[in-house]
């Protein structure tokens, strides 16, 4: 990929916690570095992203919006730039505040945020009410999000319950998306869609109106209290692997080292023994 850097972008704005900062304002500086989706091999500005356009967009955004925290400014700015310039693959922004209200001598205060386009896979499920309508609702929210591009949705399949067996059959699907959310932001988005659907969940592993799980996120491995990626049980759940195979049969599991088709074949072979 081609990398473009613009350093020391200067603008006057009113970001800060203190009332004096909101009223008097001060100078800020931004360093910007971005990677393009594709290497530019033709000497034509239409094949790239003009650094002048990016610089102007940064200044316009930072002067037309106001934030208490530099962290909020840089986070929202990276989101804005990636939604504005589709050819940018990843971007890193550093905001400098050399005149911050600090009593001791210092040379600079800065905050850096890097954000990129990610490929994620989601598992969708429902076994209460109008199951198809709930899956449609989830897919519609994916399509309407400014920070998500839906790439593929699997066919819907009906599956038997897993874990707790005395409950209705499920309807399941999988989605492949491109998103500029990080994994935790995507988790929050999925939970917000579940809640917006009027989600009901009667018991653990039991009936639910809508479930949206993050199965994979790039090739990342995350294991903490809030989030576990890859989904810990995706490789032993046919209702996850079947829809995934429909959209990406050769997708490699980052821990198992086997693709979806292989995992599903082994799962079925073991269940038939």
Given 208, 224, 238, 246, which residue is catalytic? 208
Please measure the distance between the N-terminal and C-terminal CA atoms of the chain and give it in whole angstroms: 49
Tokens of 63: 């002067």
Decide if 181 contacts 190 (C-beta within 8 A): no
2 is catalytic: no
Decide if 29 contacts 99 (C-beta within 8 A): no
Given 2, 35, 182, 199, which residue is catalytic? 199
237 is catalytic: no
Given 113, 115, 213, 237, which residue is catalytic? 213
Distances (CA, A) of 260 to 61, 176, 220, 264: 43, 14, 17, 6
211 is catalytic: yes
The Cα 45–Cα 33 span in angstroms is 18
The Cα 114–Cα 82 span in angstroms is 11
Given 115, 117, 211, 238, which residue is catalytic? 211
Tokens of 84: 């504005």
Decide if 124 contacts 175 (C-beta within 8 A): yes
- CA 143, 148, 149: angle at the middle one, nearest 5? 65
199 is catalytic: yes
Radius of gyration for the chain, computed over Cα atoms and rounded to the nearest angstrom:
23
Q: What are phi and psi of 133, to 5 degrees?
A: -65, -35
Tokens of 270: 């073991």
Residues with catalytic function: 199, 208, 211, 213
């Amino acid at each position: 990929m081609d990398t473009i850097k613009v350093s020391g972008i200067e603008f006057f704005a009113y970001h800060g916690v203190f009332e004096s900062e909101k009223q008097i304002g001060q100078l800020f500086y931004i360093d910007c570095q971005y990677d393009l989706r594709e290497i530019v091999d033709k000497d034509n500005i239409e094949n790239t992203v003009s650094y002048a356009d990016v610089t102007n967009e940064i200044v316009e955004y930072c002067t037309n919006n106001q934030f208490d925290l530099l962290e909020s400014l840089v986070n929202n700015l990276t989101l804005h730039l990636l939604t504005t310039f589709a050819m940018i693959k990843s971007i890193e922004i550093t905001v400098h505040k050399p005149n911050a209200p600090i009593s001791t001598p210092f040379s600079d205060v800065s905050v850096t945020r890097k954000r990129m386009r990610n490929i994620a896979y989601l598992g969708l499920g429902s076994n209460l009410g109008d199951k198809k309508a709930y899956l449609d609702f989830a897919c519609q929210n994916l399509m309407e999000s400014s920070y998500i591009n839906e790439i593929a949705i699997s066919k819907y399949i009906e599956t038997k319950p897993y874990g707790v067996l005395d409950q209705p059959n499920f309807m399941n699907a999988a989605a492949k998306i491109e998103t500029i959310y990080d994994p935790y932001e995507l988790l929050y988005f999925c939970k917000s869609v579940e809640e917006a659907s009027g989600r009901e969940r009667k018991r653990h592993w039991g009936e639910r109106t809508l479930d949206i799980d993050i199965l994979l996120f790039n090739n990342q491995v995350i294991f903490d209290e809030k989030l576990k990626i890859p989904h810990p049980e995706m490789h032993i759940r046919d209702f996850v692997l079947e829809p995934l195979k429909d959209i990406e049969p050769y997708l490699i599991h980052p821990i198992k080292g086997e693709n979806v088709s292989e995992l599903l074949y082994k799962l079925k072979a073991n269940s038939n023994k």
